[in-house]
Amino acid sequence: MQYRTLGRTGVRVSTLALGAMNFGAIGRTTQDEATAIVDAALDAGVNLIDTADMYGAGESEEMVGKAIAGR
């Protein structure tokens, strides 16, 4: 995985990101499916997940939170 520095922050982010807009009811993605997707992305070196409170009225963020809990 390639990484870039985010502006002047010193934070290194992967050049690929995981978009989580379709997690939940909008994309009919279950928690188990979302967790498997997040696990695969993290295992591949992705460290940037795009989510927003407007994605499924916050459901996407909740699913990502559950998927990364304890990591």
Residue of 24, 29, 55, 60 marked active site: 55
CA atoms within 13 A on the CB side of 44: 14
The angle formed by the CA atoms of residues 59, 55 and 16, to the nearest 5 degrees, is 105
* Cβ atoms of residues 38 and 67 within 8 Å: yes
- Please confirm, yes or no, whether 3 is among the known catalytic residues: no
Q: Which are the catalytic amino acids?
A: 55
